[in-house]
Amino acid sequence: MSAVVDIERHVELLRANYRRWLKHDFIDAALRGRDAVCWLDDAPFALVSHGTEADPIFNYGNATALRLFGMDWAAFTTLPSRLSAMPMDRAERARVLACVARDGYIDGYTGVRVRADGRRFRIQGVTVWNLVDERGAPYGQAALIREWTDWDEGG
| Position 2 in a domain | no
> Does residue 1 carry a pLDDT above 60?
no
Write a three-state SS string for 16-85.
Answer: HHHHHHHCCCCCCCCCCHHHHHHHHHCCCCEEEEECCCCCCEEEEECHHHHHHHCCCHHHHCCCEHHHHC
| Position 47 in a domain | yes
| Position 121 in a domain | yes
Residue 17 identity:
N
Cα 31 to Cα 149: distance, rounded to the nearest angstrom: 30
Give the CATH number for residue 22: 3.30.450.20
| Position 86 in a domain | yes
Please tell me the predicted confidence (pLDDT) of residue 85.
Answer: 83
Please tell me the predicted confidence (pLDDT) of residue 6.
Answer: 92
| Position 155 in a domain | no
pLDDT (tens digit, 9 = 90+) per residue, 102-125? Answer: 999 999 999 999 999 999 999 999
Please tell me the predicted confidence (pLDDT) of residue 4.
Answer: 66
| Position 97 in a domain | yes
Q: What is the pTM of this model?
A: 0.91
pLDDT (tens digit, 9 = 90+) per residue, 86-105? Answer: 877 778 888 888 888 899 99
Confirm if 129 and 100 have CB atoms less than 8 A apart: yes
Q: How many helices (H) and strands (E) does the chain have?
A: 5, 6
| Position 1 in a domain | no
| Position 98 in a domain | yes
For residue 106, the cross-strand partners are 128
pLDDT (tens digit, 9 = 90+) per residue, 26-73? Answer: 999 999 999 999 999 999 999 999 999 999 999 999 999 999 999 999
Please tell me the predicted confidence (pLDDT) of residue 38.
Answer: 96
Please tell me the predicted confidence (pLDDT) of residue 152.
Answer: 64
The tally of domains found in the chain comes to 1
Which range of residues forms the domain containing residue 52?
Answer: 7-150
